[in-house]
Structures are given as C-alpha cells and as structure tokens.
Amino acid sequence: QVQLVESGGGLVQAGGSRRLSCAASGNVFKINSMGWYRQAPGKQREMVAVISRDGSTNYPDSVKGRFTISRDNAKNTVYLQMNSLKSEDTAVYYCQVIQLVGGTLSGYWGQGTQVTVSS
C-alpha cells in the first residue's frame, strides 16, 4: 500500500500562484507515474498534470503554460506549481501515483486538497 498526503491548498486571488505538494509513504517501491487531478463541484475529475519516472510531462490545454509538475524521486514527492490562477481552477486537487510491481499496475489517490481562486 502507498499512502499519499497532499498539502498546499487554500484560498488565492485570481492571477496568483500556489504550490501543491504530495508525499508518498509506505510501500513506495517502483512508483511509476505521478500526477495531479482535480474535481470541481458538479464536474467529473479531470487530469491536470502527469509526470513519468523519467520526467516527461503531460498537461491539458486548460493549464498548459500556467501549471508545472515536478517530482523528487528521492523524497517520493510530487509538486504542482500553479501560476496565473483563474476562478475556473477552483476545485479539489487530488494526487495520484501509479505503481508497477511484477507487471501489475496499482493506482493510489490522496485525500484531496481544496484550492479556491477568488476573482
């Protein structure tokens, strides 16, 4: 099992910045990709940023150029730097990690952290 603890959420004004962190603990052996997702009220959960173990990243157009994902493999931590925040970025942000062990992929989610952008 992998446990994830997110931090860094809160209230921020539009145009501002926020940095989220997610620390993995437990059986962190062979963590593959790490990512951030978000869910706004009444909407489905959507991918915000994903980073593979070799550092390649993927973003949807809605955050590209504003959000940056990074990871520290030594600390089993993934970060999300969010700049130029907009009201539509308001959501609960969830961290996810994918573990590959013996050919089996397992996914784990954090508890979520609220980000509220005031206009």
Bridging pattern class, strands 113-118 and 10-13: parallel
Tell me the mean pLDDT in the region 56-62: 98
**CA distance linking residue 45 with residue 28, whole number of Å:** 24
Q: What is the pLDDT of residues 9-54, one digit of tens each?
A: 999 999 999 999 999 999 888 889 999 999 999 999 999 999 998 9
Tell me the mean pLDDT in the region 46-64: 97
Q: How confident is the model at residue 106 (pLDDT cuts 50, 70, 90)?
A: very high
Scanning the structure block, which residue is given the tokens 């991918």? Answer: 47
**For position 68, what pLDDT does the model report?**
98
**For position 44, what pLDDT does the model report?**
97
